[in-house]
Amino acid sequence: MTEAAQHRRVILVSGLSGAGKSTATRFLEDMGYHCIDNFPVQMLSLLVDMIENTTDQRYQYIALSTSAQDFPEFQRVLKGEGIEVFTLFLDAADNILLHRYKSTRRVHPLLLSNQANTLEEAIDVERQMFQKYINDSVITIDTTFVTEKELKRKIESYFSKSAVPSFSISFISFGYKNGVPMDADLMIDVRFLPNPYWEVELRPYSGNDECIYRYVIDKPETQEFLKRLISFLDYAFEEYVKEGKNHFTVAIGCTGGQHRSVSVANYLYNHYKEQYNSYIEHRDVQEHDSTE
């Protein structure tokens, strides 16, 4: 491995068509990555050689956007080449992908290549093509409920050029009534905890407010639960670090994503933020809403 290769980073960007691959690539370009879209897979070995040996600074940070058909070959060729390689996979619920295609009137690439006969079939076929290649080493972002602003923040937190790559954790609160986050590595259901929704004067607030946070966290049931959960998480995080996993997403869910899940997510974030690169997101919080 050359000295130049020690400082090369490649982000392999792929995912389901319509899940936000182009948008993610644009954000990486804004962050200073040299982005290459649909590079011919037949010339990939030449590109790898260039990345390893060139002194051109444009090839120090690279984002390669690839389709489902070429994704396995990109993973194979880039693996073990002495280059720091991360894989970013964009995903979304099938109904959201259908809606995006119908609203933009774009044609799915598998329909253009006659590999599927309907849009629904194209989405299913493409998902199957990716299935065996997506594992714990892949950073997955589910864009089902994510705005462009939130997607940009996520990508910046994962791939900032100034950041030293290390194990990081995202804590996400959500409401089961709005659907579960597809990119969660671990999902924790806290609907068994005492619910401040039933206290009329507390109902309009969220777990970001001190009155709700204290109501949830100070309950004996919550204290016992957190003690057991943190014991498990401490062990799990240490083992994932040993396995070389870069990022882990813990999703905490309650009924509406307003009170209990937000409080517990905030508690966990505050507990781990000094030990790991930690991020917090409250997917369904609507401040001063009464819909839990």
pLDDT tens-digit readout, 114-149: 998 999 999 999 999 998 888 777 889 999 988 888
- Dihedral angle, C-alpha 63, 69, 73, 75, nearest 10 °: 50
Contacts of 198 (CB under 8 A, 6+ apart): none
pLDDT at 161: 75
Protein fold of 4-165 = Rossmann fold (3.40.50)
pLDDT at 12: 93
pLDDT at 95: 93
Contacts of 262 (CB under 8 A, 6+ apart): 173, 206, 207, 208, 212, 282, 285
Instruction: Enumerate residue ranges in the chain where pLDDT < 70.
Output: 1-7, 80-82, 162-166, 287-292
Contact 91, 50 (CB under 8 A): no
- Dihedral angle, C-alpha 175, 181, 185, 187, nearest 10 °: 20
Domain range summary for the chain, segments of one domain joined by +: 4-165, 169-282
Q: What is the pTM of this model?
A: 0.64
Contact 69, 115 (CB under 8 A): no
3-state secondary structure of 49: helix
Would you say the C-alpha torsion 163, 169, 173, 174 has a positive or negative sign? positive
pLDDT at 277: 82
Beta-strand relationship, 138-142 and 168-175: unpaired
pLDDT at 183: 84
Contact 254, 261 (CB under 8 A): yes
d(CA 200, CA 179): 25
Contacts of 147 (CB under 8 A, 6+ apart): none
Give the tens place of pLDDT for each residue, 23-71. 999 999 988 899 999 888 888 888 888 888 877 777 888 999 998 888 8
- Dihedral angle, C-alpha 151, 240, 78, 93, nearest 10 °: -40
